[in-house]
Amino acid sequence: MSFSINGKTAIVTGAANGIGLAIARQFADRGANVMCADMDEKKLFEEWGAQTDDGNLRYFAGDLRQRLTIANLVSATIDGFDTVDILVNASRQVIETDALNVEDTSVAVLLEQNLMTALHLTQQVAKRMIKQGADQSEGQLGSVINLSSIAARQTRPELMGYSIASAALEQMTRSMALALAPERIRVNAVAFGSVMSASLKSSMIEHSEWRDDIRAHTPLGRIAGPAELTETVQFLAAESSGFMTGEVITVDGGRSLLDAVTVPAH
């Protein structure tokens, strides 16, 4: 089986920062056509420059919590590259929860941002994959990869909303994998921790002590760079994982193997 994604078309959300940006860059470097989606149009321009009609990169700015924006993103991808073969739901938000405050809205906010956006985009992209593969009798029609977190299994009260949304995303991954398997579309996820995501980098500005704590509670003894996730995501996107669906691969340097973790799992 090939690890190649050359010539495939991928939508990558959260592509203006951190892990989403690293995935989009790797895919582009490996010959894929990439539609980079994010809310931050200024940052998209800073990272990707002016768009051209003859390259393998496009970007799309918009609030993907809105269904019309999702439809417009898919349409822009088809207009630019004719097909869509890969979806990477890398857009995530991390906010703290006040677990005993009845006025706290973080659980609802994170379910909307981290779960429902990924679900609605998966549904819309899957419809397009099915349509474009109507005359294709064999082989996979598409691959969807969701980015989760080891917070789905290890939590702290202040990250309750993030943990709930991560756990829900993993269950959505398994459910959509079964729903789309007859259509030859695979759905998998990567749960990560001890990786320098944009949210972790931002949090460390306030909590400088987290860096040493994370290293101490990661068996491999370090924090990984965003690019260290990209090979795993590419594996799930390519034919090399053609018989895998509904799986959640953990990339955390062994951190989730430990019983006690004293710092949040981003």
Is pLDDT above 80 for 156?
A: yes
| pLDDT score recorded for residue 133 | 84
25-50 burial code (b ≥16 CB/10 A, e <16):
bbbbebebbbbbbbbeeebbeebbee
CB 118 within 8 A of CB 89: yes
pLDDT confidence band for 150 (50 / 70 / 90)? very high
Q: What is the pLDDT of residues 157-169, one digit of tens each?
A: 999 999 999 999 9
- pLDDT of the residue at 249: 97
pLDDT given for residue 257 in this prediction? 85
Q: Render pLDDT for 92-113 as a digit per residue (tens, 0 to 9).
A: 998 999 999 999 999 999 999 9
Contacts of 22 (CB under 8 A, 6+ apart): 225, 226, 227, 229, 230
- Main-chain dihedrals φ then ψ at residue 217, nearest 5 degrees: -105, 15
pTM of the model: 0.92
User: Which residues are CB-contacts of 217 (< 8 A; sequence separation ≥ 6)?
Assistant: 255, 258, 260, 261, 262, 263
Q: Which CATH architecture has domain 9-257?
A: 3-Layer(aba) Sandwich (3.40)
